[in-house]
Amino acid sequence: MRRSDNPPCRSTHTSDMALTQVSSNKCAGGFQKVFEHDSTELKCKMKFAVYLPPKAESDKCPVMYWLSGLTCTEQNFITKAGSQQAAAEHGIIIVAPDTSPRGCSIEGEDDSWDFGTGAGFYVDATQEPWKTNYRMYSYVTEELPKLINSNFPTDPDRMSVCGHSMGGHGALICALKNPGKYKAVSAFSPICNPMQCPWGQKAFSGYLGSDKSTWEAYDATVLAASYSGPQLDVLIDQGRDDQFLSASQLLPDNLIAACSEKKIPVVFRLQPGYDHSYFFIYSFMNDHIKHHAKYLSA
C-alpha cells in the first residue's frame, strides 16, 4: 500500500529524463509539487509544477497542461489560480511549465519584459542567438509530455491544454497545430492574432525573422482558418475591462471570425468588470477545468 505522504512519481532509467523535486505541498487532498530537470530542447535547467490529485494515488489520470503568460514562472499559476480543488474533484493532473528558458547567457535576454526571459511565446526560434535555447513549442508539445508520462501515473491518450495571454496563444496553437492530440483547449485573454499585434510582431521578428510567412505557423487565427482536424470545442474567457484588449494586443474577434468560417465551435465569454490579472483567472478557473474534464473523461 502506497503511503499517502509519498505520492506517485515513477523513477526513470534514462539520465536525460531525471527529475529533481524542488518542493512538495499537500493541497486539496493531493500534492502540489515543483520539479527541475535538464531540458534537451532548451539546453538549460527547467522547472515545472505538477498537481497530483488524490486519484493519482491509485489510478492513471488525464493531464491538463497550463501555459502561463508574459513574465510568469510556474509559481504564478499554482499560487494564484486556485486550480487544485477542481483538479482534485475531477481527478486531473495539472502541469504548469515555466514560460521560457532562463540563465542561458544570451546577450539581451533580460533587456525586455515582453521578449527573451519570461517571454518564450511557445515558438521554436529560428534566428540567432535564440534558436539554440528558445524552443518552447517543441518543449511543451514533445519533451515535457514525454517527461510527464515517464514519471507520473498518466493516461498518455488523455491530455488537454489551457493558458493565459501569451500562454493562451500557446494553448490555441498547440491544439490547432496538432489535430486530435489534445482532447480539449481553453484560454483566458489569449493573444489570438499575434501577427497583427505589437507583442507578436516584436516576438516573431526576433525569434523567427523578417519573413512573415514563417510567422503563420504560430498564429491561432491563421491556423484556425486552415484547420481540418477533428472537432475542437474552444472555450475562451476575456475580461471586458482588460487593458490589453483595448490596446489591440489580444484581437479575439479575428480568431472568432476564422473559427466561424471553419465551423470550429467557440464559446467566447466577455466578462464585465474583469481585467487581465490572476483575479480574473481565479474567478473562472473551475469552469475551465469542468470544460476539460468533459473531454478528458474516460
Q: Where are the alpha helices (DSSP H) in 107-195?
A: 136-138, 144-151, 166-177
Give me the half-sphere count of Cα atoms (radius 13 Å) on the Cβ side of residue 120.
29
276 as an active site residue: the answer is yes
Identify whether the C-beta of residue 258 lies closer than 8 Å to the C-beta of residue 227: no
Q: What pLDDT is stored for residue 4 in this prediction?
A: 44
Closest CA to 278 of 158, 167, 178: 167
DSSP letter at 99? S
DSSP letter at 158? E
In sequence order, the β-bridge partners of residue 159 are: 63
Domain 20-297, CATH number (from 2.170.150.70, 3.90.1170.50, 3.40.1170.60, 3.40.50.1820): 3.40.50.1820
Catalytic residue among 242, 288, 291, 292: 242
Q: What pLDDT is stored for residue 107 in this prediction?
A: 95
Q: What pLDDT is stored for residue 9 in this prediction?
A: 52
Cell of 98: 515555466
pTM equals 0.94
Catalytic residue among 165, 169, 186, 292: 165
Q: What pLDDT is stored for residue 298 in this prediction?
A: 59
- All structural domains of the chain with their residue ranges: 20-297
165 as an active site residue: the answer is yes
Catalytic residue among 276, 288, 291, 292: 276
138 as an active site residue: the answer is no
Return per-residue pLDDT of the chain as tens, 298 residues. 344 455 555 444 344 469 999 999 999 999 999 999 999 999 999 999 999 999 999 999 999 999 999 999 999 999 999 999 999 999 999 999 999 999 999 999 999 999 999 999 999 999 999 999 999 999 999 999 999 999 999 999 999 999 999 999 999 999 999 999 999 999 999 999 999 999 999 999 999 999 999 999 999 999 999 999 999 999 999 999 999 999 999 999 999 999 999 999 999 999 999 999 999 999 999 999 999 999 998 5
